[in-house]
Structure 1
Amino acid sequence: MNKLLVTTALVIGLALPSVAATPQPGETLAQNQNYTYWLLDAIKSMDPQINTDVEGSGIMRSLFEGLYNEDQEGGLVPGVATSHELSDDKTTYTFHLRDNAKWSNGDPVTAQDFVYAWKRLADPATASEYAWYMELMQVANAAEIIAGEKPVDELGVTAVDDHTLEVKITAPLPYFPKMLTHASTFPVNQKVVEEFGDKWTEPGNLVGNGAYVLKEHILGEKVVMEPNPEYWDHENTVLQTVTALTINDNDAALTRYLAGELDRVQIPAGQYPRLKEEYPDEAISVPQSCSYIYMYNLDEAKGPEALKDVRVRKALSYAIDRDIVVNNILQGGQAPSYNWTHAATEGFEMPEIDYASWTQEERTAKAKELLAEAGYGPDNPLNLTLNYNTSEAHKKIAIAVQQFWKQIGVNLTINNMEWKVHTDKMQNQDFELARYAWCGDYNEASTYLDLFTSYSGHNNGKFFSEEYDRLMKESKTAEKPAPLYQQAEQILAEEMPLAPIYQYTKVEMIKPDIRGAGLTNLMQNWYLKDMYRVAN
């Protein structure tokens, strides 16, 4: 794996060139270089500073390019930046940008484009859910700007010249370069944004600096992309017409895959063992840095009264039989989860969480006991509603949880809705419980644990703990943050603002002639520019 070496006062180069779609020895490119893949939900926004979805991020990495990209194993490789220097005190990064990077309209990509995008992300007027990412990156003055206490022009990012970007952070952050692969940090073309306003991301208007351009976007139906002839590495872009089809029914999507209409699709819950036997070269299950949970609404004004009692929150979590979820429902190699951070996260040390070592019988018995203490039981059942976005897997899990909770005296109503409605309700605290999943933005535990801080842009359940906030802020300057992360996980286990359910694997059908899909990258970040089809 090619990792970025961070050494003070040295120019830091990357040992490998940016990964390109280059056939390996013995491989021959196929004549057909079109690619069609599946999306579960509509892409809410094509704007890098507005997008919040994993599926949307994949498209952002095709239409735009940040300072760095990731290789097939998740190591950093050049994007717009070819190298950087780090000051002796490790708080000033100086990035050197390639001089042949262009926007799809032919304009040069400059350091000022990054300055504009980063200020736009932090600016309260943009109302980005990812504004907090600038704060997590420790960019100077980001917290004050987001809070409206300082003007956006004081953000610690400067264009020294067209090809030199300087970023000042408030404290050394060893994983800072890893954070730069996230779509919210990608540049946008100021001239185009200001000319078209809210319509700048529409086909024909959108100008990107990625390897592909947007040809068509029918919301909730399809996204079509083609190679960008202005991209600096265009000669190594192999895939031609790329189509992402939105199909809300996973079973219907699998049927279309088997009919040859899709090249890649998620395997529906419970079908991996059969498909692996029937299509051993196409069915895959690989680790993915995502955690699946039910989030509780703890908002003082909008959350249900019952969930303000930690005994109720613990009872609900304890009563979920995670082994049934992963072994009987999903059957794709997923792992039962009793914490928040994905276990495979680099440098993360799993704490000992008490209820994780109990038998399910012990957990269920404790759940009944806690609910009784809180005043609920067969004679006074607790009534709750769970929201989940359209997916057969989410539905099956919700029905199972409905049965688990019925055993302890809880009546659960399950409420299905499309993704946009679901996320809008979460952001407005218009829910009691909500199916939620978080996929890491970078391979370090803070990408998970920062979410439950009071200043997080994604803490939709409104959990608040001064001690938790203190630990996470302290972790930013700690020489060894792992013990602080363990303490933070213990607070989540004790306060239970979420019910952890399982940790992901990526369970898919993918045509055997597809290469470069990043399957060995824990983050499962893929780049169309690295992908190609080989001849049979």
Structure 2
Amino acid sequence: MKTAKSLAVCLISAAVLSSFATNSFAADVPAGVKLAAVQELVRGNGAEPASLDPHKTEGVPESNIIRELLEGLVNQDGDGNLVPGVAESWETKDNKTFVFHLRKNAKWSNGDPVTAHDFEYSFKRAVDPKTAAPYSWFLEMTTMVNAADIIDGKKPASELAVTALDDYTLEIKLEQALPYFVAMTSHTTLKPVHRATVEEFGDKWTLPEHFVGNGAYKVAEWVVNEKIVMERNEHYWDNAHTVINKVTYLPIENQVTDMNRFLAGEIDMTYEMANEHFKRMQKEQPESLKVTPYLCSYYYGFNNKKAPFDDVRVRKALSYAIDRDAVAKYIVGKGELPAYNFAHQKVAGLHFDTPEYATWTQKERNAKAAELLAEVGYGKDKPLEFTLLYNTSENHKKIAIAVASMWKKTLGVKVNLENQEWKTFLDNRRNGNYDVTRAGWCGDYNEASTFLSLMQSNNGNNDQFYNSPKYDGFMNAAMAAVDDAVRADNYRQAEAQLAQDMPLAPIYHYVNARLVKPTVGGYPMNNAEDKIYSKDLYIIAE
């Protein structure tokens, strides 16, 4: 998942997946807690969402909002464990054919029942090339039967092996056994949409006056670049256990502004922390500062199809010259880990060989970087000049200035910094209108493929345009492997190939830090995908 910031679920065995009893997993207010009379929540969200259509989005700001408005087959609890969503139980005998049993009391916000046919329609819509879903590749990664051929235009979307056996039974067939498939269904792209509404209003179905969702909340107001206001969906199947009545999302790109509005009492939960104020907030607002695990990687991507970045020596030179320890410790400084590989170091079951350059001192890396750039013909008499693109954010700006300074001091490189608002940034990156770009990737599930599949040549989010038959081979072998050890070894070789080809420069692996009012109860401290459902929260009386 692309992050506007400067999403991990627990893998569950087939035996555990076989059945979940219907239960209440919404806001669990501890005994003795006095609730505030006004149950309203205001959240900073980093950027104006590009869309509220789950099949038209690819970023974290959008997913945060869609999670409130639409509910998929499964959800997550505060620890990242799978819990029932629209599906109250599911089973599989071989990890290839999955049957989901939908709850009969799930309804859309207009009162229509939510059925298996809604999910069949929605999954086929997501994979249909006519939809142009930026995350259609995710369905291919699930290995749903015929997904790849449909995306390539070789088969119609109707051939996707997703079938409503009846109104409340959904069958999904995969080409390969994936023990973590159910975890993947919590992803934004696999949320359902209301067919009649989509077909009646087209791209305008997401406007507040048209929007029909099946989540705990519904859109009440949307003022572009100002706020999105939601109110409770009285038709939501578990509405009786929802406590928060109103949720407002604010698209605040500047972290200092976000913090100041929090300190002024205007916001209950910021999107993230301004890096330079982290230590001050540790001292002044310790009861409000929340630091949690976050399965995301921060990196700079090179446009591999554009000269001179099509030369691996240029890519390696720029990567080596980034002092990751300095960035992690002094620029962000919230406990982030310097990164010399792509997949987050804490992803479940990941094993990778430490790249040789990671064992060198920074002085040695700088010397090798200068040597490589000189081989290509760049130096003091002919400095390399390019533009570094990043989305509008003070945190990203500070990192960009620091790295540009490192490149100039070490290599004499001239870097032009360009920032763009989120939607424009995504469009230009996707279309290859950049030299070097800031990027972040958050895991859609807790398994190495959620990161490493991004660099496959057939991945729609491979904005670096990296194309390596060797890398694709390792990833294809990993996905086809039945044995966990074989799969892990192929992931290891894939990471080694990335270090050799350097299509991107890993910089650090995230933690998540934000300010949350102590009066916000139920805040999840152990969900490494940072999936926060407002329906699980509540406001405590002061």
TM-score strictly above 0.5: yes
| CA apart distance, 1:2 | 10
| 1:112-131 Cα deviation digits (max 9, x unpaired) | 00000000000000001111
- Please show how residues 133-172 of structure 1 align to structure 2 within 5 Å: 133-172=138-177
| CA apart distance, 1:495 | 0.2
| CA apart distance, 1:345 | 1.0
Question: Letter of the aligned partner of 1:449 in structure 2?
Answer: L
2:130 alignment partner in structure 1: 125
| 1:351-383 Cα deviation digits (max 9, x unpaired) | 222112221111111111111122111121111
| 1:234-257 Cα deviation digits (max 9, x unpaired) | 000111111111122221221111
| CA apart distance, 1:450 | 0.3
| 1:180-216 Cα deviation digits (max 9, x unpaired) | 1101001111000001111000002010000000111
**Worse overlay, 216-225 or 98-107:** 216-225
2:453 alignment partner in structure 1: 450
Secondary structure in 1 matching 2:441: strand
Say which of 414, 418, 441 aligns to 2:417.
414
| CA apart distance, 1:260 | 0.2
**Worse overlay, 344-353 or 146-155:** 344-353
Alpha-carbon distance in structure 1 between the residues aligned to 2:381 and 2:523: 54
Alpha-carbon distance in structure 1 between the residues aligned to 2:357 and 2:277: 30
User: Is 1:433 paired with 2:414?
Assistant: no
User: Is 1:534 paired with 2:537?
Assistant: no
Alpha-carbon distance in structure 2 between the residues aligned to 1:535 and 1:373: 66
Alignment identity in percent?
47
2:5 alignment partner in structure 1: none
User: Is 1:19 paired with 2:16?
Assistant: no
- Unaligned residue ranges in structure 1 (runs of 5+): none
1:334 alignment partner in structure 2: 336
Alpha-carbon distance in structure 2 between the residues aligned to 1:11 and 1:263: 36
Say which of 279, 283, 288 aligns to 1:277.
283
Alpha-carbon distance in structure 1 between the residues aligned to 2:498 and 2:264: 45
Question: Letter of the aligned partner of 2:304 in structure 1?
Answer: L
Change (3 A) 1:16 1:108: closer
User: Is 1:211 paired with 2:213?
Assistant: no
| CA apart distance, 1:18 | 4.6
1:316 alignment partner in structure 2: 318
| CA apart distance, 1:16 | 7.7
Say which of 296, 299, 303 aligns to 1:293.
299
Residues 9 and 528, structure 2, Cα contact 8 Å, conserved in 1: no
Say which of 91, 100, 121 aligns to 1:95.
100
Alpha-carbon distance in structure 1 between the residues aligned to 2:53 and 2:476: 29
2:81 alignment partner in structure 1: 75
Alpha-carbon distance in structure 2 between the residues aligned to 1:54 and 1:209: 20
- Please show how residues 338-357 of structure 1 align to structure 2 within 5 Å: 338-357=340-359
Greater relative CO (CA pairs within 8 A, separation 6+): 2
2:117 alignment partner in structure 1: 112
**Worse overlay, 115-124 or 503-512:** 503-512
Residues 84 and 96, structure 1, Cα contact 8 Å, conserved in 2: yes
Residues 287 and 518, structure 2, Cα contact 8 Å, conserved in 1: yes
Alpha-carbon distance in structure 2 between the residues aligned to 1:5 and 1:423: 33
User: Is 1:235 paired with 2:237?
Assistant: no
| 1:139-158 Cα deviation digits (max 9, x unpaired) | 00000000000111110000
Alpha-carbon distance in structure 1 between the residues aligned to 2:255 and 2:184: 31
Say which of 252, 258, 262 aligns to 2:263.
258
Pairwise CA RMSD of aligned residues? Answer: 1.6
| 1:492-532 Cα deviation digits (max 9, x unpaired) | 11100001111111111110121223231111111111111
Question: Letter of the aligned partner of 1:107 in structure 2?
Answer: D
| CA apart distance, 1:90 | 2.9
Alpha-carbon distance in structure 2 between the residues aligned to 1:49 and 1:420: 15
Alpha-carbon distance in structure 1 between the residues aligned to 2:202 and 2:412: 52
TM-score (norm 2): 0.95
User: Is 1:186 paired with 2:191?
Assistant: yes
| CA apart distance, 1:453 | 0.3
Secondary structure in 2 matching 1:284: strand
1:37 alignment partner in structure 2: 43
Secondary structure in 1 matching 2:414: strand
Alpha-carbon distance in structure 1 between the residues aligned to 2:259 and 2:304: 38
Alpha-carbon distance in structure 2 between the residues aligned to 1:19 and 1:56: 23
2:379 alignment partner in structure 1: 377
User: Is 1:7 paired with 2:14?
Assistant: yes
1:505 alignment partner in structure 2: 511
Residues 18 and 77, structure 1, Cα contact 8 Å, conserved in 2: no
Residues 453 and 475, structure 2, Cα contact 8 Å, conserved in 1: yes
Aligned residues: 530
2:405 alignment partner in structure 1: 403
1:325 alignment partner in structure 2: 327
Alpha-carbon distance in structure 2 between the residues aligned to 1:3 and 1:487: 24
TM-score (norm 1): 0.96
Change (3 A) 1:317 1:18: farther
Alpha-carbon distance in structure 2 between the residues aligned to 1:458 and 1:117: 20
Alpha-carbon distance in structure 2 between the residues aligned to 1:515 and 1:148: 48
